[in-house]
Amino acid sequence: MKKVFLLAIFILILVIFLPFKDDLENWSIDQRFLFRGTHRPLENMVIIGIDGPTMAWAKRPFFTFLPLFGELIDALGTASTSSVFFDISYDTIPDEVIRNHVSETFQKLNSTIEPRLLKSLGFALPFRQALIKSLSTGLKVILGFAYQTGRELKIEKSLLSILPESQIGFLNVEPDRDHVIRRYNLFATSPDSEKLVPSVDLAISAQFLKSSNTSEKMIDFNPSTGLSLAGKKIAGLFEHRSGLINYAGPQGTYPMISLKESLLMFRNQPENFRSFFSGKTVLVGIWLIEDIKMIPGFGYIPGVEIHANVVENILRNNFLTPPFPSEKNLILFLAFLLFLPVSYFFKLEFRAVFFLALSIVWTLLSFFLFKKSILVTWSNPFCFFLLAGVINSLLKWYETHKEKSRIRSLFGKYVSEKALEALLELPFEKFGIGEKREVGIMFLDIRSFTSFSETREPEEVVDFLNRFFQVVTEIIYLNGGMVDKYLGDGMMVLFNVPFSEKNFISAMVNTALSIRKEIGTFSQLNPKWNFSLKVGIAINSGIGIVGNIGTEKRLEYTVIGDVVNVTSRIEPLNKEYGTDILATEAVISPTSEEFIWEFVEEKILRGKEKPVKLFKLIEKK
């Protein structure tokens, strides 16, 4: 359990300190928007876009559009429009430049210009007059200004100061590190006065609700309870001030009519204009590449449409919200707790598949919850489950590699390469526990080898044995046998292990015949040996216990049991009977139709009470 706990802690630390985790979470939010698709936007909200056709129609630079905006305010005032917001930063510097230039020109001509005439020059006057007029018509005009948190609040007095504070807010929309706009600050605090500074979208939403609400204080902030609008708390805000925008869809989700079409409709079809804009909340903004911004999932949209999404989130109270506080850390902790019992009670292969599958399940769950506007943290659990799956897979690979190395060390010298490759496909546990099964046992011994070894140099003795065992082992491998061990000048051979073979007894007899045939010519390989090679072979079949015998440091895959003891005691009897291959009745019965056998004797072996029938192998039929 200690190892499992340490592994869980290791994965947890990896997840916590992953450098790209936040980027991965942002990417997942983008994909979840794509998966969810578009939802129906808020009614009674329309966008007036300053697009390419409008620029071509107006035939003027953008800083000279204030008279057109003034005309639009007057027109909307006649249509009983609820409110209008201009997503534009207002600057009177161009008017001042024009006035300074005219004044300097008159001075050079030694002439003067009346102050009243000079003041009337510029483009802001029609817009200013329209703002003043809107105060009496009931049309709520919302204007914005550029503001950075922590800096002194400055409002352009000549324009913004015309309106009540409730119709003014900051315009800033700050992107994330990857330049995607996911979050929006609903208010800031002025550093000089600690005064609440609302965003334009909060101001728009307040005006939208004001007609149906009698509360004098539309916007209220309490550090402990958070931000409220018209007495209702705005849910899903981080630190009570910023929310994850729940975008309705891609560009064009909200109805858009160009400024050109709007003004022409008012001039030529005023009744249609009033009918179209009656009761609407209007957002006016640039619909050109200069104000295009990236949002999650849906690509690029104009800045004014971002404001439309935020206003909808405020009014519908549907910012993307986690299901409960601190869910990011809690879900990661639950993943950690799940890891412990699974890793302790289940095998590596199950754990690897389980955690990899769990990372996929968590992804699907987070995507489906997103359809319900429930935003759960995806990256933390996903990375934890993925790392758990990968690490368990690596541990399984290491364990498998280690098992194959152990299998290779156990069997590599005793079975054919083909049989070894088949063994490597099986789990090591298959060979670790004992099992009872029918096996074939062969003992082989070189006759009179002691006298040969006493009269030869050690190098010659070793060379002789190595060549002999090479020839014999190849015959054994060819017939599916397994060399259990080399016994000096002899060997013990197993059949029907580690794999079951239907005709293993026949294969064992064929092995003995092939060895008999091969030793006839073996001595001719080296004339210096001058040794008439003879062998004694005993073959038997019966039930034995098969498994790994030994210690962790030295294991031996072998067979133990009476069948082994009987075979080992039969082999020396070849000297007594003058035979080279002896077998028991267990071998004769299934092979009598394939080989010619001759009964030798019924003999009581050492340590046995019942006699054993012995047969010598003559030849194959």
pTM: 0.65
Structure token digits, residue 218: 């539309």
Phi first, then psi, for residue 526 (nearest 5°) are -145, 105
Q: Report the SS3 class of residue 551.
A: coil
Domain regions of the chain by residue span: 2-17+323-408, 37-316, 425-620
Structure token digits, residue 313: 């989130």
pLDDT at 428: 53
Angle between helices 348-370 and 379-411 (to 10 degrees): 160
Of 95, 156, 159, 96, residue with least CA distance to 127: 159
Residue 591 CA to its chain's centroid (Å): 60
AA letter at 494: L
AA letter at 467: R
Task: Please tell me the distance from the alpha carbon of residue 26 to that of residue 176, in angstroms, as a whole number.
Answer: 9
pLDDT at 5: 67
Structure token digits, residue 331: 């879900």
Matching residue, tokens 């026949």: 506
Of 104, 108, 131, residue with least CA distance to 118: 104
- Name, in order, each residue with C-beta under 8 angstroms of 308's C-beta and a sequence gap of 6 or more: 41, 42, 45, 47, 254, 283
pLDDT at 416: 52
Task: Please tell me the distance from the alpha carbon of residue 553 to that of residue 507, in angstroms, as a whole number.
Answer: 33
Phi first, then psi, for residue 302 (nearest 5°) are -65, 150
Binned average pLDDT, 10 residues per bin, the chain of 621 residues: 70 74 86 90 92 93 88 95 88 69 80 77 83 91 77 58 87 88 85 74 89 66 83 84 91 94 96 94 93 93 95 91 69 75 74 85 92 85 84 74 64 55 56 79 90 82 87 90 88 88 93 89 67 89 86 77 94 93 94 93 88 93 80
CATH tag, 425-620: 3.30.70.1230
- Its sign, for the CA torsion 590, 416, 492, 581, is positive
Whether 603 and 612 have beta carbons less than 8 Å apart is answered as: yes
Which residue(s) pair with 305 in the sheet? none
Whether 481 and 443 have beta carbons less than 8 Å apart is answered as: no
| Count of Cβ atoms closer than 10 Å to residue 177 Cβ | 8
pLDDT at 325: 60
Task: Please tell me the distance from the alpha carbon of residue 407 to that of residue 431, in angstroms, as a whole number.
Answer: 9
Which residue(s) pair with 558 in the sheet? 547
Whether 228 and 221 have beta carbons less than 8 Å apart is answered as: yes
Whether 512 and 570 have beta carbons less than 8 Å apart is answered as: no
- Its sign, for the CA torsion 397, 398, 403, 405, is positive
